[in-house]
Amino acid sequence: MNKSVKRTSDKYKPSIANWRFYLVLFVIAFIYLGLMARAAYIQVIEPDMLKKQGDMRSLRVATTQVERGTITDRNGHELAISVPVETVWADPKIILEKNALKMTEHWQALAEVLDQDVKKLTNRVLKRPNKRFVFLERQVSPAVANYIKKLNIPGIHLRKESKRFYPAGEISAHVVGFTNVDDQGIEGIERVYDQVLTGKGGAKRFRKDAKGRKVEILSVEAAKKPQNVVLSIDQRIQAIAYKELKGAVSAFKATSGSVVVANVHTGEILAMVNSPSYNPNNRAKTAIHRFRNRAITDMYEPGSTMKPLTVLTALEFGSIDADTVIDTNPGWMRLGGRRVSDPINRGKLSVTEVLVTSSNMGTSKIALSVPKEFFLDKFFEVGFGEETGIGLIGESMGIMHDRARWSQFELATLSWGAGLAVTPLQLAKFYTILANNGIKRPFSILKQDEQSLAAQETEQIFSPEHTKQVLAMLEKVVEEHVHKAKVPGYRVGGKTGTAFKAIAGGYGNDYVGLFAGIAPIENPEVVVVVVINEPAGDLYHGGEVAAPVFSRVMQGALQVLNIAPSVLPITTSQVRKQKSELAEDDYA
């Protein structure tokens, strides 16, 4: 019995299929090999991906922003500062997830405070449903930001920024310039010194845990503070110049005008104004041409303001002296078939009288007494045809032809300011050389210290003796001919200029009135150049439209700079008046 049972159990003993065993082994090996390959791929071939994923979850960067540097005048008055503002932005994903668009009244209030259409505002969100950042409005005031914060619309956020503010407004707009919405310099000093004024924000990289706690500080980058820019401009003189220029442009119905005030001894620009100007704090709907700094970009034929250069050149060469008499009879002459003339026959004139009467005949004869090369070189040496060194973007070099052949007529017209074009700033530079004993130095829009002045490259263009002689002549011009340029209490010298506006193929019917002057004559300190472009009406001569502006600007500048009044020479009429008063006292 036991044997039969044993045989039956042996007969039904289970057997193992070999192929199943090997299949399981293969699957297990394949899985392990796959895991090993994946691990090798992640660890060896592309480890950065996991690091990036980990950093996205744990690595954070905290930044600190720095405001743009300040621009001030030479006395520390602020011309450009940064004020805190906020930017409104939206998170469309959160807005749609929380169904915030149903808060119609809140969105209407948001649109009104941002001065936008509510439909356009909401469409900006709907068109970007997967975006996490959309600008709604840049640089809103703190009051507006507080109002938006109280609306409490889900997905609407505020971010702190800074906005440029210009306290001087239109008075200094062309010099200071402005920035765009991203605080990048676009015009003027803001653009030229953009890198200096722009600092660099700091950054701290750290790692946090799942609960948001800082567990490791990886790096700290300190913020780089911006630098401030101190201009050579004196805002008090700038305000005086702008007021007088704006009034003159309006009174004479001129197209535009410019005034430049320069320090004789340092080359610093104390004032540079243009009219029309613009408000840099609100440039909406402002015509582009108003942004142009006409004092450095616009060119004009300088007219008779060039006659002192002609006289000074002849004095330097030695073809005339201060006592030379020029025969202008019969009041006209022909040069190569072209006519040069004065309005009347002035006969024989001294060199001083040539300037006082602004004789084209006398100036032409003086110019032709000098060799062509010597005469032309002086025009280039004083700075015509080159930049002044001020460093502002957009400065024009003017037009001063450098060619081998010049006719006598061309040299004659050049002597009284025709056939070349200069900017108001270039004209101011020449008169600064004249006032500074013939020494040429670069102009500067930045305040100069003793070290900077010592490093300046200077050049002696004219002798002090001859410049003083010409200054005395220019004083006679004001005393005897241009009474509107006089400054009470000070000895002043200068020269008027009236020129036709050049057009394609010749000259038009519009004028430019100019006056360039120096004060005080006995010890020159300040140069003022005034240009009135295209005055409309019966008054258009430089002595009528530009000289009165010069007088008031020069008077204000001398008072601001606390320059002592001149010891004025006593005239014959004053002597008679004093004798009369003494006689009356004796009789009494």
Residues marked as catalytic = 304
Distance separating alpha carbons of residues 421 and 299, to the nearest angstrom: 5
d(CA 113, CA 464): 66
Contacts of 309 (CB under 8 A, 6+ apart): 378, 379, 382, 430
CB-based contact 293:191 (threshold 8 Å): no
Write the DSSP string, 487-516. BTTB--EEEEEEEEEEETTEEEEEEEEEEE
3-state secondary structure of 45: helix
* Cα 506 from chain centre: 32
| CA dist., res. 73 & res. 554, Å (int) | 19
d(CA 286, CA 289): 9
Q: CA 381 to CA 509: how far, in whole Å?
A: 32
Burial of 391 (0-12, 13-18, 19+ CB in 10 A): middle
Q: Which of 524, 517, 514 is nearest to 561 (CA)?
A: 524
Pairing of strands 459-460, 526-533: unpaired
Look at phi and psi of residue 489 and say left if phi exceeds 0, alpha if psi is from -120 to 50, else beta.
left
- The rounded distance, in Å, linking the Cα atoms of 86 and 82 is 13
- Using DSSP's 3-state secondary structure scheme, residue 208 falls into strand
Q: Give the residue from 184, 169, 212, 206 showing the smallest Cα distance to 80.
A: 169
Q: Is residue 218 within 8 Å of residue 417, measured between CB atoms?
A: no
CA distance 116 to 369: 72
Which helix (H) or strand (E) segment is 469 a member of? Answer: helix 464-480
Alpha-carbon span 468 to 359, nearest angstrom:
21
Instruction: Decide: helix, strand or coil at residue 523.
Output: coil
Q: Within a 13 Å sphere around the CA of 74, how many CA atoms are in the beta-carbon half?
A: 20
Residues 588 and 579: their CA atoms lie apart, in Å, by 14
Distances (CA, A) of 54 to 59, 146, 206, 209, 219: 8, 37, 13, 11, 17
Structure tokens at 303: 């007219």
